[in-house]
Amino acid sequence: MGSIAIPLPSVGSQQDIEVDIRVNGQLRQQNYRVEVFYWKDCYHRHNRAECIREILNGYDKEWQLYYIGMPTDDYVPITFMKRSA
């Protein structure tokens, strides 16, 4: 799958994004969710890689990982894409 970049307003705690795409004349819809996860909320306070793994393993299985954004000292933004039916 190819990709394009679309600027979005600044991320709050969660954004649900619906994109209608026309590819070769066929309309398709893709849903994304951007969530911010705070390091302080990691249950066992492990290192950051383990924290992200814990987040992803416990996340709603209707959504798949799409992109892990640039982390800060306080949080990491993660983008999920809704799985096709």
**Rounded CA separation 38/42 (Å):** 7
Q: Residue type at 36? A: V
User: How many C-alpha atoms does 53 have within 13 Å on its Cβ side?
Assistant: 7
Res. 39: pLDDT tops 80: yes
Query: Sorting pLDDT into bands at 50, 70 and 90, what band is 4?
Result: confident
Per the CB < 8 A criterion, the answer to whether 14 and 59 are in contact is: no
Tell me the per-residue pLDDT of 15-28, one tens digit each, with 9 for 90 and over. Answer: 788 888 888 999 98
Query: Sorting pLDDT into bands at 50, 70 and 90, what band is 11?
Result: low
Higher model confidence: residue 36 or residue 11? 36
The rounded mean pLDDT for the chain is: 86
